[in-house]
Amino acid sequence: MKLGIKASLALALVGGACIANASVTALTMIPVADILGHREVTVGYLAFGNEAKIDKKIYHYGWVTVGIGDVAEFAYGDDFEKGQTTHLKVKLLEGDNYMVSAGAMNYEGKGHNTDLFAVGRYDWRNLRFHVGYWKSDEHRAFFGVDFPVFGDCTGSLEWIAGPGAYGWASLNVPIKQLPGFNLWLGAGLPSDAETQGYQYTFGFWYGFKL
């Protein structure tokens, strides 16, 4: 089952209120086990923010991700404000209907400060299940599903547990007139709406092979 996974789109929580950047193949927040094929590339941009009572500012993020040898992907991201980050994911196991990967995200080039993760995927009929572990400022578990909707579109639901737990619902829309080009919309659902606020994101990404 081939679905429109947003290669290199992941959003991490900062202080439970604002979104930060990550760039490995993902749903919205959570990384997934999928990797790009050899010499496959995605380039994208997104805007994101919180409801006005939390933060009125709209943030921006751009990225490029490249598949290496059908076993890994490397990504570079820029938030157009604070600086750049690099990201890496490696495939560990793969079967007919499952995959397991691990990697590091949000490395800023200083010391050993980076987010670590491990994630597995299991395909079942028209659903793909994702579960994993994420070490950032806290130890967190995460869960998600993605599924086809409206023909060629892909919907996803996900939850990242731990302090400041947060969920996301998103929709990825391929543009048939522009092969490889996709639009994406996402809504963040907080565990505590009063202190965290609702979040949103929208953007686009383009995939091609070198």
pLDDT, tens digit, 9 for 90 and up, residues 148-175: 999 889 999 999 998 888 899 999 999 9
pLDDT digits (tens, 9 = 90+) for 75-117: 999 888 877 889 999 999 999 999 999 999 988 888 778 899 9
23/57 Cα distance (integer angstroms): 21
Give domain 10-209's CATH superfamily. monomeric porin ompg (2.40.160.40)
Is residue 4 predicted with pLDDT exceeding 70? no
46/129 Cα distance (integer angstroms): 25
Predicted pLDDT of residue 26: 87
Reported residue count of the chain is 210
Counting beta carbons within 10 angstroms of the beta carbon of residue 53, is it exposed (0 to 12), middle (13 to 18) or buried (19 or more)?
A: exposed
Counting beta carbons within 10 angstroms of the beta carbon of residue 190, is it exposed (0 to 12), middle (13 to 18) or buried (19 or more)?
A: buried
- What is the value of pTM for the model shown? 0.86
Predicted pLDDT of residue 52: 82
Tell me the pLDDT of the chain averaged across its residues: 85
Predicted pLDDT of residue 8: 35
Domain boundaries, the chain: 10-209
Residue 194 — very low, low, confident or very high, per pLDDT cuts 50/70/90? confident
Predicted pLDDT of residue 195: 77
Mean pLDDT, range 27-35, rounded to an integer: 90
E-strand spans in 108-198? 115-124, 127-135, 139-149, 153-160, 166-174, 181-190
Measured at the CA of 204, the angle between CA 206 and CA 65, to 5 degrees, comes to: 50
Please name the residue that has the structure tokens 């990504």.
Answer: 75
Is residue 189 predicted with pLDDT exceeding 90? no
